[in-house]
Amino acid sequence: MAKIQTPNPVRGTQDIYGEAEERFAHIIAVFEKIRALYGFKGLQLPVIEPTGVYSRSLGDATDIVSKEMYTFDDRGGDSVTMRPEFTAGICRAYLTNGWQQHAPMKLSVHGPLFRYERPQKGRYRQFHQIDAEILGAAEPMADVELLVMADHLLRELGISDGVTLNLNTLGDGDSRDAWRSALVEYFNAHKDVLSEDSLRRLESNPLRILDSKDPDDRGVCHAAPVIDDYLTSEASDFFAAVTSGLDAAGVAWKRNKQLVRGMDYYRHSAFEFITDRLGAQGTVLGGGRYDGLIEDLGGPHTPAVGWAAGVERLAMLIDMPKQAVFDAALIPMGESAQMAAMKIIADLRRNGLRCEMAYKGNMKKRMVKANAIGAKYAIILGDDELAAQSATVKNLSDGSQITVPFDKLAEKLAQNLAS
Ligand code: ATP
Ligand code: MG
């Protein structure tokens, strides 16, 4: 009979387990702690949205909409898309649920996202983000709060040292339009060196040429017009308020006049926290202000600002805190001892003690397992112990042994662990 081929995972997806999963969980736990500290409410959102949620808000010419989305018609013939980013879905939810009445609203979300990209280190087709947004806030202090929070998160994860906040302003609508025209003129004069992608961008959104990673494009971008020469006084006041706020809060930042963001919807602040420790995939956290997005979705004018960070990229940067160990390993010898151990381990766990059972192999093998999982105590149960209704408790760091009645185990262990 022909051998049945085992299934492969979808390219660019990962099974995350063991040490990698612990890193992942640690990042989510720290994010949950920080977002609560800053008063951001949690949010759970659908993984699929009507395709229009993304095509209308991100813009057809963006990399995401033009070539990265997982889009398909469902069985009813409706075009749906697996979310490639959070912001547009959050804005859709804001409108669906009439959250205008709660503005300004501070929201946070995390979970998987999907983009059809070329998989490589730090770049996957299913990846994960943590995300924070403030909707219905026009004030520069909202931008500052989000950036202070992002900086705090990176500090808490122990990675702020190698990561730099790059900050730019894209100005308001008028500034952006004037800058855009200047860029079109400039890039038209350098058409011969631009990459094919950038030639296309020149038609659709010239700002995005500045975002290009192509080395030839980078050369041309170097001398391109900068936004500063086109900022309206309102836009430059806004930017000054953001930078003063960051200085007041003690958050270091670097002006990066070349920084634009991939999506059409950004206005005013655009920022990225960048590291040189991850090669080409150096942006760990990015975001900005998107005052026009909710209008693009048919809602009322709603200024908003937010950021998202890639969990996989953060996970590559952190040093994991020392792993928590087991309080005790139960070592029952014989069938009746195993039943007694079942009751004891249930009891100990209900009392909040981290326990594991070692029930395979001879005594020596079981002790090896107890040591291997980092248990502080081994609780040994044999015939003698059963007869006396008392367990032998061995301290695995100094080898000392005591005898403890079954019904006193939880109490005694907790005492010893605390001392
Ligand atoms: P890049 O320039 O690296 O493609 P991006 O501008 O597309 O990033 P955003 O859409 O701003 O990224 O997403 C925010 C963060 O999500 C990124 O800074 C990165 O950490 C992470 N990220 C984006 N795409 C991927 C991916 N395909 N795999 C893993 N992480 C990703
Ligand atoms: Mg991208």
Atom of ligand 1 nearest to the CA of 284: 20
Which atom of ligand 1 has the smallest separation from the CA of 63? 7
146 and 112, same domain (yes or no): yes
Mean per-residue pLDDT of the chain: 93
* Separation of CA 85 and ligand 1 centre (Å): 9
Q: Which of 127, 154, 263, 311, when mutated, tests ligand 1's pocket best, judged by the most ligand atoms within 8 Å of its CB?
A: 127
Tell me, what's the pLDDT at 263? 73
* Residue given tokens 């503005």 in the structure block: 103
Under the banding of pLDDT at 50, 70 and 90, the label for residue 126 is very high
Domain count of the fold of the chain: 2
pLDDT at 324: 65
Question: Across residues 292-312, what is the average pLDDT?
Answer: 95
Q: Residue 216: inside a domain, yes or no?
A: no
Under the banding of pLDDT at 50, 70 and 90, the label for residue 320 is: confident
Is 283 close to ligand 1, i.e. is its CB under 6 Å away? Answer: yes
The CA distance from 266 to 169, in Å, is 9
pLDDT tens for 194-225 read 999 899 888 888 888 998 888 989 899 989 99
Tokens of 236: 């430059």
Whether residues 82 and 158 fall in one domain = yes
What mean pLDDT do residues 88-93 have? 97
For atom 19 of ligand 1, which residue has the closest CA?
Answer: 310
| CB-CB contact of 163 with 155 (8 Å) | no
Q: Is the pLDDT of residue 265 over 90?
A: no
Percentage of the chain surpassing pLDDT 90? 80
CB-ligand 1 contact for 198 (6 Å cutoff)? no
CA separation for the pair 337, 332 (Å, rounded) = 5
pLDDT of res. 79: 98
If you take atom 8 of ligand 1, which residue's CA is the nearest one? Answer: 283
Pair 362, 240 in one domain: no
Is residue 215 situated within a structural domain? no
Instruction: Identify whether 263 is part of a domain.
Output: yes
In the annotated binding site, the residues are 85-87, 115, 129, 133, 261, 265-266
CATH number at residue 131: 3.30.930.10
Using the 3D structure, point to which of 279, 296, 317 is the last residue of a domain.
317
pLDDT digits (tens, 9 = 90+) for 2-50: 789 999 999 999 999 999 999 999 999 999 999 999 999 999 999 999 9
Tokens 């943590």 — which residue? Answer: 130
Q: Which of the two residues, 300 and 358, has the higher pLDDT score? A: 300
The structure tokens listed for 52 are 């229009």
105 and 159 inside one domain: yes
Contact (Cβ atoms closer than 8 angstroms) between residue 165 and residue 273? yes
- Both 243 and 390 in a single domain? no
How far is residue 370's CA from residue 83's CA, in Å, rounded to a whole number?
44
pLDDT at 193 over 80: yes
Query: Does 258 reside within a domain?
Result: yes
Annotated binding residues for L-histidine: 85-87, 115, 129, 133, 261, 265-266
User: Is any atom of ligand 1 closer than 6 Å to the C-beta of 312?
Assistant: yes
Does residue 262 line the site of ligand 1, with CB under 6 A?
Answer: yes
Give how far Cα 418 sits from Cα of 188, 353, 357, 360, 413, Å: 72, 12, 22, 30, 8
Question: Quick one: which atom of ligand 1 is closest to the CA of 263?
Answer: 10
By the 8 A CB rule, do 302 and 266 touch?
no
pLDDT for 39-80, tens place per residue?
999 999 999 999 999 999 888 878 899 899 999 999 999 999
Helix axes 140-156, 18-37, angle to 10 degrees: 140
Tell me: do 127 and 46 sit in the same domain.
Answer: yes
| Ligand 1 binding pocket includes 83 (Cβ within 6 Å) | no
Strand 355-357 with 304-310, pairing = unpaired
- Cα 201 to middle of ligand 2, angstroms: 15
Q: How far apart are CA 43 and CA 99, in angstroms?
A: 13
The ligand 1 atom at the shortest distance from the C-alpha of residue 84 is 10
Q: Which two tokens stand for residue 337?
A: 């001892």
Per cent of the chain over pLDDT 70 is: 99
pLDDT for 269-279, tens place per residue?
A: 999 999 988 88
The CB of 117 under 6 Å from ligand 1? The reply is yes
The residue range of the domain holding 309 is: 19-172+232-317
Q: What's the pLDDT score for residue 1?
A: 67
Radius of gyration of the chain from its Cα atoms, rounded to whole angstroms: 28
Which ligand 1 atom is the nearest neighbour of the CA of 308? 14
CATH code of the domain in which 363 resides: 3.40.50.800
Asked, for residue 354, whether it belongs to a domain, the answer is yes
Q: Residues 322-335: what's their mean pLDDT? A: 87
What is residue 343's three-state secondary structure?
A: helix
Pair 308, 334 in one domain: no
pTM of the predicted protein model: 0.90
Residue 395: pLDDT over 70: yes
Is 339 within a domain? yes
